[in-house]
Structure 1
């Protein structure tokens, strides 16, 4: 496969907008470039500057602006995507997004002796369509029409956990290939944490699905504690600006860092002791793995992929803010327990989630 062409089709390019999916794509492309592949990246241009540090052949698409009243509009790019694929003539296509883009990729691949690999990003991607309020919007039915082609025609479907694997088999009779979420290896001697002040992080883009308001409720519980500090990281949705500004102005041990680079997120995790996740749902949060690789204990309100937090004893599932506060108080008072859980998290991350051990599996599917 060395020298052959791989196309990544994904609406966001990591140097313009970084999330968990974009980070995993970055790891994959970095590996492909090192191995000598010709990599093309097709994405919706967010009109933000970028440097192209990996020297990828970029194909920015001019954004199609339309209100989301009728649903997602990714299918409007169909003609542009097909034109790009016909120009590039890839040997393999990789998508990591529930959208018509994956359906376009699956159709092209089946007609042109090309492999298409689709990676499931969220549990909702494989849930019953009738559970999705989004289907009340007509454009989303068009997106679903294309996604049915993905489920049927993608050569390989990657899943993050057993729930996704089982749902894929039950709904579409497809065998999902389970692949661990990955993070780059961190030398243990680089991990140093203060014992004077315990740092609690929240990392996600501020949007309703991530429920940032729950973290702010938690912060308020500990607002008078001098030995604990709360930091919130992520792109700000204006719907949350007032609440963030209010918390920042009256709570001395709370800090909002806004959106920062992935490298800076990792630096914050190196110093942190606890990561809190308040999302409604996740597939397998990339920040979990980044945290474990830095001896950070994870507290999650809903997400516990394959029961890892509880079976490996590297975190807690806390469905309420009160329970989050209770577990944080325990970890605050019991430094030995906190360190032991952090150490277990690190050992598990190195053994199961080291990016070098997982990316090769993806690349092997492209041949």
Structure 2
């Protein structure tokens, strides 16, 4: 008897642009959406799985199949309702209906949000399995229950507790989930497919990539560039809803610096060349999950410098970069060291080794697929 495929539905509201770059997402997407894209398309290529994805789109009218994944479109919610749901956990009828349409065995959602509660609600009523994936360190403590978001955060936590399988991005997140929520989890590393590597002669700029939000501290990158006017810096800094003034300020300051090329928003597909041709990438965030930029850099043998974030001390143990532990002066010194050719070559080789053993999609996928099959059978 032929076994039917395991039906997996990914909830990825802002991820359709990754399938169709000509279509701009209703909001700027980040690493969570990228990870769901890679995992969904990789699973869809396996005969044992049938994969669907719920995406927000005002134009998609049918359940078309793209890269093996069936798209289930949901019309974007009115902005006023979306803002209200950030505070009051009103279940989304549009998403609940889309989940019924998907009729999956397993529903997978990434990142702490009101939607976590909605997916848990659907799975409990429909008696289906729910997999939650942490996307940020804030998903693992009580950050989401702060201030005016207490009710929405409580709904998220209730959904987290209802998940049948929880994935953390790091050992730190795994510990935090246990400490704050008494929730067991497995570590699922960020994944990317392998990519071509550029020669050292093609690499020039110091790179920053991210959304223009306060906690990513784009101004700290410009401080670093100001201290090294002899070095070319490049900034792919996407504007973000609710942070318009910061974006204007960053763009204006960068425009006055002759050694800084400010790119603004760059489509995801075009960022590969930025990482491939970078001498080093710099992360200035105060807090992250496991930065996708670390993995994007490592897979093309580009070293990483971080002002404050180093999950599980991977830069140190992997030997492909350094963390300044929050000290801008230390970060500047580390950049000077990384610009030395011998130092750079050593860290570059370590970066590629680290990627191949820890984050290569082809290497990680079998265990991930097996965990979903086991969950469905249990």
* TM-score (normalised: structure 1): 0.88
- Give the Cα–Cα distance (whole angstroms) in 1 for the partners of residues 271 and 140 of structure 2: 29
1:147, distance to aligned residue in structure 2 (A): 1.7
Tell me what 1:298 maps to: 304
1:145 aligns with 2:148: no
Aligned-pair Cα RMSD in Å: 2.5
Structure 1 residues 211, 174: CA separation in 2 closer, same or farther (over 3 Å shift)? same
2:204, 2:277 within 8 Å by CA — same for their partners in 1? Answer: no
Structure 1 residues 361, 239: CA separation in 2 closer, same or farther (over 3 Å shift)? farther
1:291, distance to aligned residue in structure 2 (A): 0.2
1:39 aligns with 2:39: no
Aligned residue pairs total: 354
- Give the Cα–Cα distance (whole angstroms) in 1 for the partners of residues 97 and 193 of structure 2: 35
Structure 1 residues 166, 85: CA separation in 2 closer, same or farther (over 3 Å shift)? same
Unaligned runs of 5+ in 1: none
Post-superposition CA distance 1:191-244 (Å, at most 9, x none): 22327x731000111111211111111111112x1xx21011131242234433
1:193, 1:270 within 8 Å by CA — same for their partners in 2? Answer: no
2:72, 2:102 within 8 Å by CA — same for their partners in 1? Answer: no
1:157-306 aligned at under 5 Å gives the runs 157-187=166-196, 190-194=197-201, 198-223=204-229, 225=230, 228-237=231-240, 238-306=244-312
1:204, 1:233 within 8 Å by CA — same for their partners in 2? Answer: yes
1:26 aligns with 2:37: yes
- Give the Cα–Cα distance (whole angstroms) in 2 for the partners of residues 297 and 270 of structure 1: 11
1:96-175 aligned at under 5 Å gives the runs 96-127=110-141, 129=142, 135-137=146-148, 140-175=149-184
1:53, distance to aligned residue in structure 2 (A): 4.4
Report the secondary structure of 1:7's partner residue.
strand
- Pairing partner for 1:328 from 330, 335, 342: 335
1:65 aligns with 2:71: no
Report the secondary structure of 1:40's partner residue.
strand
> Which of structure 1's runs of 4+ aligned residues deviate more than 4 A?
67-71
1:67, distance to aligned residue in structure 2 (A): 8.1
- Pairing partner for 1:87 from 101, 112, 123: 101
Unaligned runs of 5+ in 2: 18-24, 374-378
- Give the Cα–Cα distance (whole angstroms) in 2 for the partners of residues 194 and 77 of structure 1: 54
Report the secondary structure of 1:191's partner residue.
coil
